[in-house]
Structure 1
Amino acid sequence: MEKKQIGIIGAGISGLLACKYMLSKGFDPIVFEAKSDVGGVWIKTIASTKLQTPKTMYQFSDFPWPSSVTENCPAQHKVFDYIQSYAQHFDLIKHIRFNTKVVGIEYEGLSDEEIQSYSLWNGNGQPFSFKGKWKVVVDNTENNSTKVHKVDFVILCMGRYCDVPNIPEFPPKKGPEAFHGKVIHSMDYAAMDYESAANFVKGKQVIVVGFHKSALDIAMECSEANGLKNQCTVLYRTEQWNVPANLP
Structure 2
Amino acid sequence: MTEKVAVIGLGGTGLVSLKNLHEAGLAAVGFDRRDHIGGIWEFDPDENLTSVLKSTRTNISRHRFTFSDFEYPPELKDNFPKAEDIAKYIQAYANHFNLLKHCRLGVTITKLERSKDGQCWDLTIIDTDGKTVTEQYKRVIVCTGPQNKGLIPAHEGVKDFKGKILHSQGFKGPEPFSKQRVIVVGISNTAGDIAADLTEVTDDVYVSHRSGARLVSRTPDGQKPTDHLATRRLGRIIFLFTPFFPRFMGRLGEILIEAGMKKKYKGILKKEWRLLPAPPIPNVAPVMNDYLVDYLHKGKLKSVHGIKRYLDDGTSIELLDGEILRNIDAVIYCTGYDWDYSHLGNGANPTAYPTPEWDSMEHAKLMPFPRLYWGIFSTDYPESLAFIGTYRGHSLSAFSNSDLASSAIAQIWKGNYPIPTKQEMDNWCNDHYRVMLDHIALWRTQTIACDSRKLHDWLNEAAGTGVNQKLGWGWQGWKFWWQDRELYYLLMDGVDTAFLQRLFDVRGEKGRKRWEGARDAILRSNGKIP
TM-score by length of 1: 0.81
Stretches of structure 1 lacking an aligned partner (at least 5 in a row): 111-130, 191-196
Match of 1:225, SS? Answer: coil
Is structure 2 residue 129 aligned with structure 1 residue 143? yes
Aligned equivalents of 1:49, 1:139: Cα separation in 2: 31
Q: For 1:75-114, list aligned pairs within 5 A.
A: 75-110=82-117
Q: Deviations over 1:180-237 (max 9, x none)?
A: 21101111113xxxxxx333110110000111111111101111111x3xx2001112
Aligned-residue Cα RMSD (Å) equals 1.7
Is structure 2 residue 41 aligned with structure 1 residue 42? yes
Shift of 1:159: 2.8
1:246 corresponds to: 219
Distance of aligned partners of 1:19 and 1:188 in 2 relative to their CA distance in 1, 3 Å threshold: same
- Percent identity among equivalent residues? 27
Is structure 2 residue 75 aligned with structure 1 residue 68? yes
Q: Which amino acid aligns with 2:93?
A: Y
Q: Deviations over 1:50-101 (max 9, x none)?
A: 0111101011111011101110001010010000100111011111110011
1:157 corresponds to: 143
8 Å contact from structure 1 (residues 208, 233) kept in 2: yes
Aligned equivalents of 2:77, 2:159: Cα separation in 1: 44
Is structure 2 residue 216 aligned with structure 1 residue 216? no
Q: Deviations over 1:117-167 (max 9, x none)?
A: xxxxxxxxxxxxxx6110000113x432212110001100003543x2112
Where has structure 1 moved over 3 Å in runs of 4 or more?
none
8 Å contact from structure 2 (residues 59, 218) kept in 1: no
Q: Deviations over 1:165-184 (max 9, x none)?
A: 1122233xx11523x21101
Aligned equivalents of 2:90, 2:123: Cα separation in 1: 26
Shift of 1:4: 2.5
Shift of 1:3: 7.6
2:299 corresponds to: none
Q: For 1:183-194, list aligned pairs within 5 A.
A: 183-190=165-172
8 Å contact from structure 1 (residues 3, 28) kept in 2: no
8 Å contact from structure 1 (residues 176, 182) kept in 2: no
2:14 corresponds to: 15
Shift of 1:47: 2.4
Aligned equivalents of 2:27, 2:39: Cα separation in 1: 22
Aligned equivalents of 1:47, 1:96: Cα separation in 2: 25
Aligned equivalents of 1:161, 1:37: Cα separation in 2: 20
8 Å contact from structure 2 (residues 2, 136) kept in 1: no
Equivalent residue in structure 2 for 1:57, among 41, 64, 70? 64
Match of 1:4, SS? Answer: strand
8 Å contact from structure 1 (residues 198, 221) kept in 2: yes
TM-score by length of 2: 0.39
Distance of aligned partners of 1:181 and 1:213 in 2 relative to their CA distance in 1, 3 Å threshold: same
1:123 corresponds to: none
Q: How many residue pairs end up in the alignment?
A: 213
Q: Deviations over 1:30-57 (max 9, x none)?
A: 1110101111110122122001111010
1:134 corresponds to: 121
1:235 corresponds to: 208
Shift of 1:244: 2.5
Aligned equivalents of 1:75, 1:170: Cα separation in 2: 35
Aligned equivalents of 1:133, 1:181: Cα separation in 2: 50
Distance of aligned partners of 1:47 and 1:208 in 2 relative to their CA distance in 1, 3 Å threshold: same
Aligned equivalents of 1:169, 1:144: Cα separation in 2: 35
Shift of 1:14: 1.0
Q: Which amino acid aligns with 2:178?
A: K
8 Å contact from structure 1 (residues 41, 161) kept in 2: no
Shift of 1:108: 1.4
Aligned equivalents of 1:20, 1:246: Cα separation in 2: 33
Aligned equivalents of 2:141, 2:85: Cα separation in 1: 27
Aligned equivalents of 1:23, 1:245: Cα separation in 2: 36
Aligned equivalents of 2:215, 2:166: Cα separation in 1: 25
Stretches of structure 2 lacking an aligned partner (at least 5 in a row): 44-51, 224-530
Aligned equivalents of 1:86, 1:223: Cα separation in 2: 35
Aligned equivalents of 1:160, 1:237: Cα separation in 2: 25
8 Å contact from structure 2 (residues 2, 137) kept in 1: no
8 Å contact from structure 1 (residues 207, 233) kept in 2: yes
Match of 2:165, SS? Answer: coil
Bigger mean CA deviation after superposition, 18-27 or 6-15: 18-27
Aligned equivalents of 2:83, 2:159: Cα separation in 1: 32
Q: Which amino acid aligns with 1:184?
A: L
